[in-house]
């Protein structure tokens, strides 16, 4: 695994930990943190990241 994948994995775990706190703040914050955390974890184990695909199609990221 590369450093990039390790960072995504660690970030995904930290964001999923905030889901518990987000549940008490707002339902929308809960859903947002859950989506971001799961996306980061998924992209750490596979080489596919939905947000990067969108940014590449828009021409923002190479």
Instruction: Write out pLDDT tens, residues 7-20.
Output: 777 777 777 777 77
Query: Residue 62: its pLDDT value, please?
Result: 63
Cβ-based burial of 50 (10 A; exposed 0-12, middle 13-18, buried ≥19): exposed
Q: Where are the domains of the chain?
A: 3-58
Query: Residue 61: its pLDDT value, please?
Result: 66
Query: Residue 16: its pLDDT value, please?
Result: 73
Instruction: Write out pLDDT tens, residues 16-61.
Output: 777 777 777 777 777 777 777 777 777 777 767 777 777 788 888 6
User: 3-class SS at 60?
Assistant: coil
C-beta separation of 11 from 42 below 8 A: no
Query: Residue 9: its pLDDT value, please?
Result: 79
């Amino acid at each position: 695994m590369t450093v990039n994948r390790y960072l995504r994995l660690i970030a995904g775990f930290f964001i999923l930990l905030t889901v518990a706190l987000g549940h008490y703040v707002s339902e929308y914050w809960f859903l947002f943190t859950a989506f971001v955390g799961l996306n980061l974890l998924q992209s750490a184990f596979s080489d596919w990241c939905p947000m990067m695909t969108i940014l590449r199609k828009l021409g923002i990221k190479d």
